[in-house]
Amino acid sequence: MSDTENLIENLCEAAACIEKRLCGRAPKIGIILGSGLNPLADGIADPIHVPFEEVPHMKKSTAEGHVGRFVCGELAGKQVLCMQGRLHAYEGNSAQEVAFPVWAMARLGIEQLITTNAAGGINESYREGDFCIMADQINMTGRNPVADPAAAELAERFFSMTDAFDPALRAIAHESAREGGVRVQEGVYLGLLGPSFETPAEIRAFRAWGADTVAMSVCEEVIAARHLGMKVLGISLVSNMAAGVGAVGGVGGASPNGEEVMDCAKMREGDFMRLITGIVARM
């Protein structure tokens, strides 16, 4: 059997397993919850849980604060399929393994995807606790999930990444933020391999490239989703300022750590729930 047949067969098996567990539910909206943001899935009504490790050919999540399961149920009157946690490159997953659940969701009929994460703020006008709607992305992981003969057979190999983040969904996010009184920014997200945080010199370079936020996820998911024609909305919680941001005379400034990421997410749980619920209600 060829690698292409293997990937397609594996995706079919994974999607069939999830579909069977959903007992006839057919959600069109997918949500991926990042670091510290997993609690939103606990607010999904009438939930069905499918742990990642019970899905054939799918890796399990090992990142702190990532539950590692699919949750299907009702949010804001809509059926959603939520990943309560994600797969990262820094956990030892290949680009295709990171993309695998996104491709599986597409095979299940998910047409619109909200991907979220916690990110460091590069733009000095941002504040910890802000939410940032992704206007575009810079993929600095050094990887692309479609750069593989098998993955390229899922859809046309060469595809546009213009409007990687859907303009209409971004407008909906701004509307939800205004109505809910949630402070949001909009900017360019830069994704890295991780797991080490960035150096101040790297952050200065990223700022010069036009990046506003930085983290260790999302980019490969967005590429995978756009490859199969899904519409994508990306939202970061600015959980900390990036290394060196706020330095006076090039000295000092922020020095991020994992604990502050989780603490900030905990403080913004209510606003995040209000923002995402408002978005889903309008989709």
Look at residue 266 and tell me whether its pLDDT is greater than 90. no
> For 123-155, how does the pLDDT look when each residue is reduced to its tens digit (9 = 90+)?
999 999 999 999 999 999 999 999 999 999 999
Look at residue 233 and tell me whether its pLDDT is greater than 70. yes
Give the pLDDT mean for 33-52.
Answer: 94
Look at residue 22 and tell me whether its pLDDT is greater than 70. yes
With vertex at residue 160, the alpha carbon angle to CA 157 and CA 165, rounded to the nearest 5 degrees, is 125
Highest mean pLDDT among 65-69, 194-198, 209-213: 209-213
Look at residue 161 and tell me whether its pLDDT is greater than 90. yes
Mean pLDDT of the chain: 92
- CA dist 27 and 280 (Å) reads 12
CATH class assigned to 3-282: alpha beta
Give the pLDDT mean for 160-179.
Answer: 98
Q: What pLDDT was estimated at residue 66?
A: 81
Per-domain boundaries in the chain: 3-282
Q: What pLDDT was estimated at residue 258?
A: 60
Q: What pLDDT was estimated at residue 249?
A: 43
Q: What pLDDT was estimated at residue 261?
A: 74
Q: Of how many residues is the chain composed?
A: 283
Q: For residue 269, what is the enclosing H or E element?
A: helix 269-282
- CA dist 131 and 122 (Å) reads 13
Instruction: Determine what percent of the chain is predicted with pLDDT higher than 90.
Output: 84
Helix (H, G, I), strand (E, B) or coil at 95: helix
Give the pLDDT mean for 188-209.
Answer: 95
Q: What pLDDT was estimated at residue 255?
A: 61
| C-alpha closest to that of 83 among 226, 208, 225, 264 | 225
Look at residue 204 and tell me whether its pLDDT is greater than 90. yes
Quick one: how far is CA 116 from the chain centroid?
4
Q: How confident is the model at residue 256 (pLDDT cuts 50, 70, 90)?
A: low
Q: Which of 16-30, 76-90, 236-250 bottoms out in mean pLDDT, i.e. has the lowest?
A: 236-250
Q: What pLDDT was estimated at residue 35?
A: 83
Instruction: Determine what percent of the chain is predicted with pLDDT higher than 70.
Output: 94
Kind of pairing between the strands at 45-51 and 69-75: antiparallel
> For 77-118, how does the pLDDT look when each residue is reduced to its tens digit (9 = 90+)?
999 999 999 999 999 999 999 999 999 999 999 999 999 999
Q: What pLDDT was estimated at residue 253?
A: 53
Q: For residue 135, what is the enclosing H or E element?
A: strand 131-139
Q: What pLDDT was estimated at residue 259?
A: 73
Strand partners, 45: 74
Q: What pLDDT was estimated at residue 250?
A: 44
